[in-house]
Structure 1
């Protein structure tokens, strides 16, 4: 089984890469940061420097890879666009879409994938949290492409995982003490009574890759956030 994970050098993408590699899959990860790529190269099948927002780089990458079984898209522009809408610049709103939705779409266009596509969304797509309008817009758009793509690309399956609060480098914009306090407060309000780990989402990605009768689905991995 050959799996390509774009955005696979940290956080959820890396956890999925390591889990699938441990299962015996041939895993190819991409990322932009050369140091991160060098650090993960021995932990997965191979790692290649590819900027997911660079159309020519993405096209060339998929031409080199050729046909493969499963594609996982875990791009993230970080916390770009986070904050009250009145305080968010139009440039940041556009940047949030440029960093996630549009690279997802272009990767799906170019990938010669035969089994499944799994995209990483976020619980903000279905929540009503002040300060997350831009994130909700981007992730809402990501989730809405899943059902039509599942039909359009069939028999290739298309699904999404939608993480809630996961302890990953995404939160690095917060000082450590602030982050820990925010996680503790979030955990208290969750049915699961904890924030998630990247491995929680990686398990869900593995499930969707292996579940050959599941397609067009959004799988929340949020500790109950969107139902509490």
Structure 2
């Protein structure tokens, strides 16, 4: 696959980095975009085969400059995330939720718009949502709306941008830096409890989700689809 070029926006940690590594292992030329210089330096040290770029997906000029440097793209994967927007609706900080939409939803749109002139006609766009868009977990209305907005882009864009393919991946609980705000012992206890409730009886790794993301990006017959890779969380009560 050496003739293919991938751009992973949000590719310096977690699911994004795991996806970039898998695409590189397939032989693609892989560029990763991140805002944090420390993380980019870390990727350069551990994964010299990945080409790093410092930019914010929500800033049109920054992401456009990256795209101009990269040139043609076959696979655009956007894994921008954030934990803002959690909490009971009565106490939800709406200013914080607006910033979360800026950081994820609006950044998705900014990146997609900037990337369109660079996408190969047989290329693809893959977006990362989350189970919160589908589940009914208390305290997640804000972040559910955020991920639901991202996933709502997929079907109309799959038709509008055809033959460019557009897909999404909707993970459940994944052991990534997203949980770094919790003390280690609290996180381990919660994961152990959650794993017992899940039909898959385990918490996903970033690489589990990356494997599915690569399929969504590269399979030529897949478009307009959100792949739920949540260990069965949507089937049981996780509230």
What TM-score does the superposition give when structure 1 sets the normalisation length?
A: 0.97
Q: Distance in 2 between matches of 1:197 and 1:132?
A: 22
Corresponding residue for 1:113? Answer: 119
Q: Distance in 2 between matches of 1:55 and 1:109?
A: 9
Aligned-residue offset at 1:210: 2.2
Q: Distance in 1 between matches of 2:133 and 2:210?
A: 19
Corresponding residue for 2:228? Answer: 220
C-alpha contact 1:167 1:198 (8 A) present in aligned 2: yes
CA-atom RMSD, angstroms?
Answer: 1.0
Corresponding residue for 1:62? Answer: 67
Aligned-residue offset at 1:206: 1.1
Secondary structure at the residue paired with 1:212? Answer: coil
Runs of 4+ in 1 over 6 A off after TM superposition: none
Q: Distance in 2 between matches of 1:71 and 1:210?
A: 10
Q: Distance in 1 between matches of 2:172 and 2:226?
A: 13
Match of 2:131 among 100, 103, 123: 123
Corresponding residue for 1:161? Answer: 169
Q: Counterparts of 1:9-48 in structure 2 under 5 Å?
A: 9-42=12-45, 43=47, 44-48=49-53
C-alpha contact 1:161 1:219 (8 A) present in aligned 2: yes
Q: Counterparts of 1:129-148 in structure 2 under 5 Å?
A: 129-148=137-156
Deviations 1:147-201 (A, max 9, x none): 0000011000000000000000000111111111111111111100001000011
Corresponding residue for 2:100? Answer: 96
Q: Distance in 1 between matches of 2:201 and 2:129?
A: 22
- For structure 2, which runs of at least 5 residues remain unmatched after alignment? none
- For structure 1, which runs of at least 5 residues remain unmatched after alignment? none
Aligned-residue offset at 1:118: 0.4
Of 100-109 and 42-51, deviating more is 42-51
Q: Distance in 1 between matches of 2:150 and 2:57?
A: 16
C-alpha contact 1:159 1:216 (8 A) present in aligned 2: yes
Corresponding residue for 1:194? Answer: 202
What TM-score does the superposition give when structure 2 sets the normalisation length?
A: 0.93
